[in-house]
Structure 1
Amino acid sequence: MLLNPVVCKSPNFKCSIAEPLPILHKHYHSGDLIIGGVMSQIYIFSHLITFKERPSKEVFEEILQFIPSWTFHASMCVLSTQNNFIPNYKCDVQNNLIAVIGGSSSEICLSMATIVDTYKIPQLIYGSAPMMNKQFEALFSLWMFPNGDHQYEGILQLLLFFKWTWIGVMFVDDDNGERFVQNVVPMFAQNGICFDVIERFPTITYFNDIDEMVSQGIKTYSAVMRSTVNVLIIHGEIQTMIFLRMIPDLSKYEDIPIKSKGKVFIMTAQMEFTSLPFQRRWDIDIIHGALAFSIHSKEVLGFKTFLKMRNPTLEKEDSFTGVFWEEAFECLLPTSRVDLQVGATCTGEEKLETLPASVFEMSMTGHSYSVYNAVYAVAHAMHAMHSFKCKHRPLIDGQRQKILNQQLWQLHHFLRSISFNNSAGEQVSFDPNRKLVAGFDIMNWVAFPNQSFLRIRVGRIDPQASPDNVFSIHKDAIVWPSIFNQAQPLSLCNDNCHVGYSRVKKEGEPFCCYDCIPCPQGKISNQKDTDDCFQCPEGQYPSHGRDFCILKDISYLSYKEPLGISLSTIAFFFSFITAFVLGIFIKHQDTPIVKANNRNLTFTLLISLLLSFLCALLFIGRPNNVMCLLRQTGFGIIFSVAVSSVLSKTIIVVLAFMATKPGSNLRKWVGKRLASSIVLSCFLIQVAICTVWLSVSPPFPDFDMDSMTEEIILECNEGSPIMFYCVLGFMGFLATVSFTVAFLARKLPDCFNEAKFITFSMLVFCSVWLSFVPSYLSTKGKDMVAVEVFSILASSAGLLACIFSPKCYTIIVRPELNKREQLIRRNNF
């Protein structure tokens, strides 16, 4: 094996690879150099930033060539004799390489694949999967890493769950990082996620680029940490944590007001907690409250016991354990190859459990779990292949062993189809794309002042679950960064638009940045950040804050409200007065003042006025079919009779005066027949108009939902407005003619002349109804009905008062004037 699956768990790397390059050469054998090479550029950058030192050009150039060249070298070493590096020759038949497990970064995986795929050796990759351009390179690779699309979908669901729409991204400048930006970031944008900053981690390729690398790194960190986002996605690899840990320290030297503790990091599963030796005592509060995706794992039984048994004196063939031991416990082993023997001496009895988690974790991480499963996958595949060959190749033992050794490349076929349950009780298998069939855990990192931390599982991405259960999160279990005081952080371009407001895009800004404007009149918004306000359903109206709808009350002119009570009281009062006047005239019907002005017309007029007052009551109360049919038609017919009676009285007065002239032929027209004809003809015309109205489009009860904001008006729909105005128009015509005739006859010399009183009554009547039209059209709801009732009462009261009050005064108060002799004497005078 290239890497020990247990010892090479990711936390164990972090303290043993940060020494300057000469020491790296002394301490690492070929297999370990693959891991050590990942950290070389990080070491340069951190050394320059933290200590302001520049490595020599020779050392730097050696470092730049360290990653690919030594990865190739290490890969070739495992193919050669154990103790001698002889490329393309394998002299030690006791150790046969059957598979390679390794690749903590995509760069190392690709370099390893260049060598091992040439020999058709299966490579199980547990870190970042590289983008392999050649199909041959990927043919013998299996990924102990689930499909990355599930992780990106999980990140999106996490952002949407917490409503984080204003975020930043930092990514490693490699093929995987570019793929993330090109493919995944647009997917986030389509789901309403905006990006304030998208920055690369600094990289370097030439010695002359050191200053530019440092400058670019400072610029990148400054842009990210000055951003207003509270959520930052870190798309990196195993070594990316070293860069993150430099952020708080960077502000001390570059005077950057970094607010790293005010951001929630969302880290991809390719990352792991890794650090350099000089970072050992650095504050790790920057990771406190971070949310990290991790390959789904379970605690393996016996793993902690295994770790407690580790001892550098027992690991004779594993030089890595000794190097790690010295770095972790800050001591030197007696067998150390370091020239300068300084510091305490390691006894080998030190306990791993006493180390803080930032140096060594006693629990199995996702990467370690992948390596663990990879080892057993190879073992199960070997067993399956051996069983297959034994079953189908019944050869003698020597020939079978020879074939087995010659055709080990066939192991890849069995690896792809392997499926087994590991000791933790979970199934291990690969999908058609040779990727591990598994999900991701969402871990919450909680840091402590003693440089230790915990990973708390707070959620999961399970692609095999039902669609509703693929993403799960327990937000109450999450510990947020200290600055948020354990309140869920918000990451928005601006504050949410509250209910009652809608958002409008800011010009020149991302779509997540917007202004909030109040909902227009008549509309509401009952959710935050709505793009548009909407009308309330029919029968409801917006609240004062325009944030919810209120059920409208049904409104009509009722007898129970003050206005209805007042109008009905007035109607009954004038009805009583009219009945009283009618009684007086009936009682004194034989007196000259009653007989002189056509007694029948007087009674007809009084009865029609009485009915007019009572007709006003049809407009008060809850409308129904009968009321709606009788309301306007009854009012129109009754008022037509009343006005036609007044017109008839006026015409009779004029004709009577003209008939008294000598030789006049008009005497035959003066009489009851003419008066009755005028009233009857006007009555029949109005009845005809109302009949047509009721036949074509009769009035009906209706609900007016729109006229009033807070009420539903229960009213009588006129059916045909044209017919309604025809009824009013005919009454207006009669009133105009009556007023004109009465005005011309107002000065006729007759003691019983009613013309002047009729003139005043018609003046009142016309004034009321002329003012009625604009008032009726400008009011809504029950006020409209009240205007019509008032007009009916006012015009009727005007006729009653102007025509009959003088006569009643004479009959009741001055009865001496109601005598024929008195009238004749006054006439002669």
Structure 2
Amino acid sequence: MMIGAFFPLHTFYTEKKRPHSAKPYQYLDNYVQYNFKNYQYILALLFAIEEINGNPYILPNISLGFDFYNTKYTERDTLVFTFLWLTAHVERKVLPNYNCKKRNFTAALTGTSWITSAQIGTLLQLFKFPQITFGPYDTILSEHGQYSSLYQIASKDTSLTLAIVSLMVHFRWSWVGLILPDNHKGNKILSDFREEMERNRICIAFVKMIPATWTAYFTSFWENMEETNVIIIYGDIDSLEGLMRNIGQRILTWIVWVMNIEHTITYDNDYFMLDSFHGSLIFRHNYRENFEFTKFIQTVNPNKYPEDIYLPKLWNFFFKCSFSDTNCHVLDKCQTNASLDLLPRHIFDVVMSEESTNIYNGVYALAHSLHQMRLQLLQMQPFENGEGMVFFPWQLNAFLKDIEMRDKRSLEWRQTKDSGYDILNLWNLPKGLGLKVKIGSFSANAPQGQQLSLSEQMIQWPEIFSEIPQSVCSKSCRPGFRTVTQQGKAICCYKCTPCAENEISNETDVDQCVKCPESHYANTEKDHCFPKSVSFLAYEDPLGMALGSIALCLSAFTAFVIGIFVKHRDTPIVKANNRALSYILLITLTFCFLCSLNFIGKPNTVACILQQTTFAIAFTVALATVLAKAITVVLAFKVSFPGRMVRWLVISWGPRYIIPICTLIQLLICGIWMTTSPPFIDQDAHTEHGHIILLCNKGSAVAFHSVLGYLCILALGSYTMAFFSRNLPDTFNESKFLSFSMLVFFCVWVTFLPVYHSTKGKVMVAMEVFSILASSTALLAFIFGPKCYIILLRPEKNSFNHIKKKTRSKQKILLKYS
């Protein structure tokens, strides 16, 4: 049973496909180079066949063999080799539909390029001849209508873009270049890359599509390579041959190449130790390493396989053996221990490659199919006259679709599943070392976040990098900043701007900063939110301590004035200014000073209510008392009454009703306020950075301003009455002082309103306390200051004799001018 093997041992490439004038389908600019690493394909085929032939449980009494054809680049040569194999190459004459030697052909094994497999498949499909391709999986070859007898061993690359992009995300590479073949595979993978990269915010710096014939040193191709430090190369070995050759001849030590192929570069003799591919990362379908194959490689030599025409060339080239004079396939003067495993890894690798693994699995798939078909034919076809079974290759198709290979994976299963990837790191320093070290893996079936596994400490980067390379269009925005996309540029090309007030970003390259909760504040670097400390106008604060001390001192001073008035209660100055009203006013002013203490300290519901009610009632009583004093003077000197008794009753008892009436009106306003919308504890989280200020909210702004408005009306009324009585002949006339006190009171609270509404937090509370103290002090100073001056410093004026003398002198002056 013969297998036809069609794959290249030489590298055939052309620069511009300049056609040959005399030979159709050939070119003038063909180049050929022996690729020693591809010889592993033959050895993998040979190794699998020998294992199967030595296994008594697979195809007993039947031996497998193979015919090998070194496929060239041109379609003509590929089709000629296929016809020669199908017709058993009778003197290189092609006779379609006729097998000259009556050989039992089973299937064709093709690769590595999808183009080669498609060319051969087009011919074999006419005969329904089974074809197994070991090259990269291709969607065109999976079209069962056109290639119904073609089977692909390689796994699909359904998760390759996800795997590569996951690597980009892991290393924070957001600015990468793409080099792809200019064919259907390149277009499809480009679409997949764009979708996956856009989902992960990775930008493509450039896209370069390489035609299959590209091998020239185009200057324009390399112009923008320095824009990024990471470039992804996707394709198959054949389509990227020219590109890889050009890269190998350059010194591009600043680029990390991420590839899906284990490409082999045959290095020319040079004096450079640096290599452009050192530090590259390679994604390869994971598979079990075949250690028996490595042992088999060590036994391979020209003497063991004398029919092999390639082994003598390898021995002659690398082990300096000489050909015999009589036979060019016989070697003389060879090293006794010469073996392929002694060759450098960049020339020949003893570890089975992905393509060789596919060949190995493909041969086993074919053997199992033959075995199953033979068992079926034995049951259906009796042996007569010693004749064997009648076998047609097309009969294998039904079995190839269902058979399981040695690793229990069927062909149909392999065409729909993606087995995951190993990630290899190319160690090629010094140049020629050629080690591929597994540094990680990717499994799309793993849980999210566990798909990519890497051993970063094992990675060797290109020589220019001493740490993990960076590949970004713009430098990362550190925590505390956010990205701002620049118009007309990719999303990865941005500038950094600080987060707004009370917003943070604790990661790099964030689009939007996160606002801290109301109970937290952003630190100076704007990368963390810290809890705000609770604050209020406390007695421990310098401002609170100062205001509290002033309030206590003024209330104490007011009590001192009360004591003076009580001590000198029988003196003319105390009696002359309505002693009872003076006592009421002084006591009320004491409460006015003390009520300001309700605004200092930690607020609570009771304190918030007492702040406004005590302030409103105390000041109402004080202003009503001042109004009563002013009215008393007016009634005494400017109003006529019918009878002395009526005059006494009106002057003595009339002003006394002013205080309760005015107070009751304010109580009514406060009662409505406390019933409908009373003050409550509020928080100010914005005025002072890093603090939440506790304060009392007035509740109803209308009620609060109504209270202040009513006080201003009382002050204005008191000022009017005092102003009218300023020139009346009272020995101790206090009308002028009442006018000044009301004027200052009115100015203080009119100024208070705009300042109050323009301030926040502690300052607002302090402003209200200050207004209370200032207006109360004005009343105390202007009304009782002059009296205390006379009582304490000019006691001679506070006597009845002084009043009599002053009265007589005034009368004499009046008589003199009368």
TM-score by length of 1: 0.85
Distance verdict in 2 for CA 1:39–1:674, change over 3 Å: farther
Partner Cα distance (2:203, 2:267) in 1: 37
The structure 2 residue matched to 1:455, chosen from 430, 436, 442, is 436
The structure 1 residue matched to 2:461, chosen from 480, 488, 491, is 480
Partner Cα distance (2:22, 2:284) in 1: 39
Correspondences of 1:403-422 after superposition (within 5 Å): 403=390, 405-406=391-392, 408-422=393-407
Distance verdict in 2 for CA 1:639–1:330, change over 3 Å: farther
Distance verdict in 2 for CA 1:506–1:337, change over 3 Å: farther
Deviation for aligned residue 1:774: 2.0
Equivalent residue for 1:17?
none
Partner Cα distance (1:554, 1:722) in 2: 29
Distance verdict in 2 for CA 1:80–1:462, change over 3 Å: farther
Partner Cα distance (1:798, 1:432) in 2: 99
Equivalent residue for 2:733?
753
The structure 1 residue matched to 2:340, chosen from 329, 352, 355, is 352
Deviation for aligned residue 1:402: 2.5
Equivalent residue for 1:6?
none
Distance verdict in 2 for CA 1:430–1:674, change over 3 Å: farther
Partner Cα distance (1:656, 1:750) in 2: 10
C-alpha distance after superposition, 1:513-566 (max 9, x if no partner) = 112222233332222212222321121122222222222111111112111111
**Do structure 1's residue 445 and structure 2's residue 426 form an aligned pair?**
yes
Q: Provide the secondary structure at the position in 1 that maps to 2:128.
A: coil
Equivalent residue for 1:219?
220
Equivalent residue for 1:80?
87
Deviation for aligned residue 1:689: 0.4
Deviation for aligned residue 1:247: 3.9
Q: Provide the secondary structure at the position in 2 that maps to 1:371.
A: helix
Partner Cα distance (2:748, 2:663) in 1: 22
Q: Provide the secondary structure at the position in 1 that maps to 2:546.
A: helix
The structure 2 residue matched to 1:155, chosen from 154, 158, 164, is 164
Partner Cα distance (1:497, 1:125) in 2: 49
Indicate conservation of the 8 Å contact 2:5/2:109, yes or no.
Answer: no
| Matched AA of 1:304 | T
Equivalent residue for 1:429?
410
Equivalent residue for 1:292?
282
**Do structure 1's residue 673 and structure 2's residue 626 form an aligned pair?**
no
| Matched AA of 1:377 | A
Equivalent residue for 1:319?
309
Equivalent residue for 1:395?
382
Indicate conservation of the 8 Å contact 2:174/2:472, yes or no.
Answer: yes
Equivalent residue for 1:181?
190
Q: Provide the secondary structure at the position in 2 that maps to 1:443.
A: strand
| Matched AA of 2:382 | L
Equivalent residue for 2:563?
583
Q: Provide the secondary structure at the position in 2 that maps to 1:484.
A: coil
| Matched AA of 1:746 | R
Correspondences of 1:218-617 after superposition (within 5 Å): 218-220=219-221, 222-226=222-226, 228-239=227-238, 242-247=241-246, 260-268=252-260, 271-276=261-266, 278=268, 285-329=275-319, 333-334=323-324, 350-390=338-378, 393=380, 395-396=382-383, 401-403=388-390, 405-406=391-392, 408-422=393-407, 427-432=408-413, 434=415, 438-449=419-430, 451-485=432-466, 487-617=467-597
Partner Cα distance (2:353, 2:710) in 1: 96
| Matched AA of 2:79 | F
Gaps (5+ residues) in structure 2?
32-71, 810-818
The structure 2 residue matched to 1:120, chosen from 116, 120, 128, is 128
Correspondences of 1:769-788 after superposition (within 5 Å): 769-788=749-768
Partner Cα distance (1:114, 1:606) in 2: 118
Partner Cα distance (1:501, 1:421) in 2: 57
Q: Provide the secondary structure at the position in 1 that maps to 2:112.
A: coil
Equivalent residue for 1:23?
none
Partner Cα distance (1:336, 1:659) in 2: 159
Partner Cα distance (1:400, 1:575) in 2: 133
Partner Cα distance (1:642, 1:491) in 2: 78
C-alpha distance after superposition, 1:192-232 (max 9, x if no partner) = 2211111122544xxxxx9xx736x3322x13523x11110
Indicate conservation of the 8 Å contact 2:756/2:767, yes or no.
Answer: yes
Distance verdict in 2 for CA 1:174–1:282, change over 3 Å: farther
Distance verdict in 2 for CA 1:369–1:663, change over 3 Å: same
Distance verdict in 2 for CA 1:527–1:219, change over 3 Å: same
| Matched AA of 2:237 | I
C-alpha distance after superposition, 1:38-92 (max 9, x if no partner) = 52227x89xx9xxxxx999977348499421111122223323266444432233
Indicate conservation of the 8 Å contact 1:540/1:710, yes or no.
Answer: yes
Gaps (5+ residues) in structure 1?
4-29, 49-53, 205-209, 252-257
Indicate conservation of the 8 Å contact 2:133/2:151, yes or no.
Answer: yes
The structure 2 residue matched to 1:731, chosen from 685, 706, 711, is 711
TM-score by length of 2: 0.86
Indicate conservation of the 8 Å contact 1:38/1:105, yes or no.
Answer: no
Partner Cα distance (2:266, 2:172) in 1: 36
Q: Provide the secondary structure at the position in 2 that maps to 1:713.
A: strand
Indicate conservation of the 8 Å contact 1:237/1:272, yes or no.
Answer: no
**Do structure 1's residue 168 and structure 2's residue 177 form an aligned pair?**
yes
Indicate conservation of the 8 Å contact 2:2/2:106, yes or no.
Answer: no
Deviation for aligned residue 1:109: 1.5
Aligned residues: 764
Indicate conservation of the 8 Å contact 1:280/1:358, yes or no.
Answer: no
Partner Cα distance (1:706, 1:603) in 2: 45
Deviation for aligned residue 1:802: 1.3
Deviation for aligned residue 1:276: 4.3
Q: Provide the secondary structure at the position in 2 that maps to 1:579.
A: helix
RMSD, aligned CA: 3.3
Indicate conservation of the 8 Å contact 2:162/2:196, yes or no.
Answer: no
Equivalent residue for 2:54?
none
Equivalent residue for 1:69?
76
